A and B are shown apart, each in its own frame.
Chain A
Amino acid sequence: MTPRRLVLLLLPLIAGFLFDPLPTGASGNKNFQFFAPPAEGTLPNGPLGRLIRQGELIFIHTGQYAPRYVGNDLTCESCHLDRGIKPYSAPLWGAYGTYPRYRSKNHQVNTLEERIQGCFRFSLNGTPPPVDGKTMKALIAYAFWISRGAPVGLYLKGQGIVRMSKPTSPPSPDRGKAIFEGRCSLCHGLDGQGTQSDNGQVAFPPVWGPRSFNKGAGFYNVRELAGFLKMNMPLSKGKSLSDQQAWDVAAYIHSQPRPEDPRKAGKGT
């Protein structure tokens, strides 16, 4: 038995002292081969439980619960599906135990807080909340809870975004446009600007334009975006795009207008 397996085996025992026993999977699906966060309804009572819940609310209704820091129509869940739990959409349980981490994006070792600040600044085209503020505290508490029982310092299956191998032919925005109009416009609109519900709230998020992520975001990288689309889009139909199609539609989205990278637009460092 490898040390990693041993750790994984022992973890439930250790964790058991702190909280209730670990569940086997969100809905008891035995074929589910990924890390399973704690079952619903097992949140601890008291201040910690309340903070975790607050973090969850910020995660799924970011504009409503952290309005000061959000500059577009997206929420954390727009990209980190199932409240930051779904594998291959950079789930929180894949991140919590893998920071601090060196990132070539800013040539620094980043903490998890700093990583989250990055998503606010680029993916939400907003302002990073302070590391010691309430918003960040709540999000970290939520990430901690989702990652209960996950090993520290190990990369788990399903963490991050799938890294696509090179496409057979260069990604083509033209081919991508046809795919987008055929398979994505139903929800995101032919013009990529998303859909509203009848009470005026965002129903399906915009994928480009003034209310979407900016040019500093991870998804402004075609490979990263293609990896997300491959596994997650169209919603509930992950893996139905071929690799080439995922590259093509990512290239099309990439070719559309969106807010500038704030680092280049001279809005700070």
Chain B
Amino acid sequence: MVVPTPKTLFVVPLVLATTLLGAGQDLTLPETWAAGDKEAALIAWGHTIAMQGNGLPGNTACAECHRINGGGMPSVGIPRIAGQTETYIYREIRGVQKGTRYSPYMDGIVQNLSRKDIRSVALYYSTVRTPKLHDPAEFDPSLRELGRRIARRGLWDRNIPACILCHGQNGRGIPPNFPYIAGQSKSYLMGQLLSFAIVKRKDDPEGLMRGIASKLTNREIKAVAQYFASLEPPVYGKIPEKNRPDRLRLIPDKETPNR
């Protein structure tokens, strides 16, 4: 992936965070605030972690990197996390903690989060809405058709299904197990595909993504990453009633919150 230099990673977001945190008070509050006291309390705690950290050593505010509303930083490959489902965010942070997802930037930050912290912050970000941010990456027009084809038809002669079969129409995700990939930045998408391909990220159920990414050429990775980066992300990752996580067991992580 495009590795952000320590300078861009920390100086830029710090400046941004200090200016933005002040304005953070008038954040539009998520709909679920009204949904029940317990959930509201979790979300409130998640909001605190996102903006200030949980107070324990090493735990930096998520907003420093993922920006105030979870929109990420496309220029340095930090993903948007707003509107991913609680289940998915929870699982990824646990993956980083357990080392099944290699993530040098997140590693130190999440080690001191308790299960409840993770659940709270995951719940919080699942309800945040953020428009797509500008992605400064270069888009190669000669790869447009290839990217579209891989995304919508797949490369079945190598047993690669269309990405949208698992990531939903236009990459909007099939909550909760299949994250949205539409509107992520090109550098982040390429980074994760490479990471799956060389098995630095191995938290994917059934090895589905490792299998697929390792069969893609670099050119194909570039093409398909740029295709999904050019789409709009979904506004809000709601889990359809039918897909309650208790119906869809997650293979690597049985502790996933049951809601």
CB distance from A93 to the nearest CB of B (A): 13
The CA-CA distance from A201 to B157 in the complex, in Å, is 27
Q: Is B95 an interface residue (CB 8 A)?
A: no
CB distance from B165 to the nearest CB of A (A): 7
The CA-CA distance from A193 to B248 in the complex, in Å, is 10
For B241, list chain A residues within 8 Å (CB). 196
For B206, list chain A residues within 8 Å (CB). 183, 186, 234, 237
B157 touches A196 (CB 8 A): no
A195 touches B174 (CB 8 A): yes
For A204, list chain B residues within 8 Å (CB). 174
The CA-CA distance from A195 to B249 in the complex, in Å, is 12
Interface centre among B159, B177, B212, B238 (most CB of A within 10 A): B159
- Write out, one digit per residue, whether chain A residues 188-208 have a CB within 8 A of any chain B CB (1) or not (0): 011101111111110110000
Q: Which of B158, B234, B243 contacts A195 (CB 8 A)?
A: B243
For B240, list chain A residues within 8 Å (CB). 196-198, 200
A198 touches B234 (CB 8 A): yes
Interface size class of A (residues with CB under 8 A): 35 or more
Binding stretch for chain B, among A3-11, A81-89, A108-116: A81-89
- Write out, one digit per residue, whether chain B residues 91-103 have a CB within 8 A of any chain A CB (1) or not (0): 0000000000000
The CA-CA distance from A237 to B161 in the complex, in Å, is 10
Are A186 and B149 CB-contacts (below 8 A) given A29-B158, A236-B159? Answer: no
A186 touches B242 (CB 8 A): no
Are A198 and B168 CB-contacts (below 8 A) given A29-B157, A32-B157, A82-B154? Answer: yes
Interface centre among B149, B156, B237 (most CB of A within 10 A): B156
A234 touches B208 (CB 8 A): yes
- Write out, one digit per residue, whether chain B residues 215-259 have a CB within 8 A of any chain A CB (1) or not (0): 000000000000000000010011011110011111100000000
CB distance from A74 to the nearest CB of B (A): 14
For this complex, 30 residue pairs linking A to B, each with C-beta atoms less than 8 Å apart, are A25-B157, A26-B156, A27-B158, A29-B158, A32-B157, A40-B149, A81-B156, A82-B153, A82-B161, A181-B249, A182-B251, A185-B248, A185-B249, A186-B177, A186-B205, A190-B247, A193-B247, A195-B174, A197-B169, A197-B240, A198-B174, A198-B234, A198-B238, A199-B169, A200-B240, A235-B208, A236-B160, A236-B161, A236-B211, A237-B211
Give the interface of B toward A (CB within 8 A): 149, 153-161, 165-166, 168-169, 172-175, 177, 205-208, 211-212, 234, 237-238, 240-243, 246-251
